[in-house]
Structure 1
């Protein structure tokens, strides 16, 4: 990884948002395939040529604009600004201390439709529960490093059809889909009205990943959005230990 990716960028400011994401190991087929699908590698900064499944009429890049900006990932702790006095290095140190207590595991994954989206999900309930637990633990551990929401941010989040529990989560944690509402996913498409296109994308991904094996959850990654609306970059990978100390 280049120095630009491993040290705080000079353009970072109080408006920079950070997120704790699951990112497949860099050497894995899951990382290479996902980055290629979205057309960029958020870790190296490389622009990639997306595949073009024969059954998809439109260019794949035109069907995954938003996921490409966020980079290939599965959200664990949603994007947030740092609280006053909290530095990116403090966030990294807290993440490393948390990760040192976590164990590695694997989760069978497959593409599925998620409303009007296509995304990689855990293929069984045990994997879904393991990822939900991981995300909840991370949010509780790192939550104190988040800046308080502005009134505008809170109003924007609450201006949606939410359950009372989800509204409570927005007010407390800044996001409605956490803890028991959390559903792990790695987004492969924009919101698409066309059901046949969603089905074709799902089948194309599953066909190319038929022999990929399970998702290796060997660690997490801190992503950064340097400026509002800018592409997210993978700033730091944080590995789980090969063996957790008792």
Structure 2
């Protein structure tokens, strides 16, 4: 079983509903969602292109999936995440847009967001003590020979090459898309997501996600509100 610390909008957010329809799975309930017809792509094509992100659900990673260290418990992780979120202040991502990152499509900020970068770096550092060391097999799966010197250092220090200065926030929407399919997939994604991306995105919660079984899908375990407890309406995390 693995955990991950991520950002995802609230369950009631329109973006959450649109993403669940696109990916074919609700990241809060874990239930499969009947795909909707999208002009330009067949249901089978959508299922193929979303197979990888469907397993992880709609999210943006702050701390990549990790196994708990032997001397740590889920209860400790929950307690410390709640405490940590109480030291933060909510903020907004000015705008998310559909972007191609290599051969994949994701939602990513249109402009750099320093608050988001600081949040991710803080989460990685604060919760590293909960992370069990990577196994040799897990290290090999990252293809360390293809990493830059900074990424290689991050892998061995933090368990993930793409943290700190190498971090780029994104919310995956597809697996790898072939060059010939990119125009149709990108247009379909813009048609689906742009209507719910006009307004800034509120970052008011941090999600603890959990892997179901060994290699199973991820779902939201709990949402932890950002901000001082005295300023919140709800004083406990919202459990999915």
TM category, shorter: 0.7 to 0.9
Shift of 1:153: 1.8
Q: Which of 187, 204, 221 is the matching residue for 1:200?
A: 187
Tell me, yes or no, if structure 1 residue 69 matches structure 2 residue 69. no
The equivalent position to 1:88 in structure 2, one of 50, 53, 74, is 74
Distance across 2 between alignment mates of 1:165 and 1:176: 8
Structure 1 contact 118–201 (Cα < 8 Å) conserved: no
Q: Distance in 2 between matches of 1:137 and 1:52?
A: 40
1:4 match? none
Query: Alignment RMSD, CA only?
Result: 1.9
Name the CA distance, whole Å, in 2 between partners of 1:143 and 1:244: 28
Q: 1:33 matched to which residue of 2?
A: 18
Q: What secondary structure is seen at the aligned counterpart in 1 of 2:162?
A: coil
**Of 106, 123, 129, which aligns to 2:110?**
123
**How far did 1:124 drift?**
1.5
Cα 1:69/1:149, change in 2 over 3 Å: same
Partner Cα distance (1:134, 1:244) in 2:
21
Match of 1:97 in 2: 83
Equivalent position SS for 1:230: coil
Between the aligned partners of 1:53 and 1:45, the Cα distance in structure 2 is 22
Q: Please give the TM-score of this superposition, normalised by the length of structure 1.
A: 0.86
Report the TM-score, using the length of structure 2 for normalisation: 0.88
Contact kept in structure 1, 2:86 and 2:228, CA below 8 Å:
no
Question: 1:178 Cα deviation (Å)?
Answer: 0.3
- Distance in 1 (CA, whole Å) between partners of 2:30 and 2:42 is 28
- Alignment gaps of 5+ in structure 2: 232-240
Count of aligned pairs between the two proteins: 227
Tell me the CA shift for residue 123 of structure 1. 1.5
